[in-house]
Amino acid sequence: MSAQADEHAIEVDVVRDVNGFLRALAVRALVYMGEQNCPFEEEFDGNDFCGATHLIARAGAEPLGTLRLRWFANFAKIERVAVVANARDGEAARALVTKAVTLAARKGYRRLIGYVDATLVTYWKRTQRVTVREQRPRLQFSGRDYVEVELAIAPPADAISADTPGLIMLRPEGAWDEPGVLDRSAERATLATAEAPWRSR
Ligand SMILES: CC(C)(COP(=O)(O)OP(=O)(O)OC[C@H]1O[C@@H](n2cnc3c(N)ncnc32)[C@H](O)[C@@H]1OP(=O)(O)O)[C@@H](O)C(=O)NCCC(=O)NCCS
Q: Return the pLDDT at 192.
A: 65
Contact criterion met (CB below 8 Å) for 59 and 8: yes
Atom of ligand 1 nearest to the CA of 87: 8
Q: Return the pLDDT at 188.
A: 83
What confidence category does residue 190 fall into, taking pLDDT thresholds of 50, 70 and 90?
Answer: confident
Q: Return the pLDDT at 8.
A: 79
DSSP 167: H
Contact criterion met (CB below 8 Å) for 188 and 197: yes
Contact criterion met (CB below 8 Å) for 69 and 113: no
Q: Return the pLDDT at 2.
A: 46
| Predicted TM-score (pTM) of this structure | 0.91
Atom of ligand 1 nearest to the CA of 91: 8
Contact criterion met (CB below 8 Å) for 63 and 24: yes
pLDDT > 50? residue 1: no
What pLDDT digit, counting tens, does each position of 89-148 carry? Answer: 999 999 999 999 999 999 999 999 999 999 999 999 999 999 999 999 999 999 999 999
What pLDDT digit, counting tens, does each position of 46-88 carry? Answer: 999 999 999 999 999 999 999 999 999 999 999 999 999 999 9
Beta bridge partners of 12: 57
Going by DSSP bridges, is the β-strand pair 76-83/111-117 parallel, antiparallel, or unpaired? parallel
Taking only Cα atoms into account, the Rg of the chain, rounded to an integer number of angstroms, comes to 19
**Residues of 174-190 as b/e, b for ≥16 C-beta within 10 angstroms?**
bebeeeeeeeeeeeeee
In angstroms, rounded to a whole number, what is the distance separating the alpha carbons of residues 101 and 105?
A: 6
Q: Which domains does the chain have, with CATH numbers?
A: 3-159 (3.40.630.30), 162-201 (no CATH)
Could you tell me the distance, in angstroms and rounded to a whole number, from the CA of residue 79 to the centre of ligand 1? 14
Question: Which residues line ligand 1 at a C-beta cut-off of 6 Å?
Answer: 31, 81-83, 88-90, 93, 116-117, 119-120, 123
From the centroid of its chain, how far is CA 167?
23
What confidence category does residue 199 fall into, taking pLDDT thresholds of 50, 70 and 90?
Answer: low
| Dihedral sign computed on CA atoms, order 125, 29, 173, 180 | positive
The CA-based dihedral angle spanning residues 125, 130, 133, 137, taken in that order and rounded to the nearest 10 degrees: -60
Could you tell me the distance, in angstroms and rounded to a whole number, from the CA of residue 120 to the centre of ligand 1? 6
Q: How many CB atoms lie within 10 A of CB 3?
A: 6
How far the first Cα of the chain sits from its last, in Å, is 38
Could you tell me the distance, in angstroms and rounded to a whole number, from the CA of residue 117 to the centre of ligand 1? 9
Within the chain, residue ranges assigned H as helices are: 3-8, 18-28, 40-43, 91-106, 121-128, 166-169, 181-187
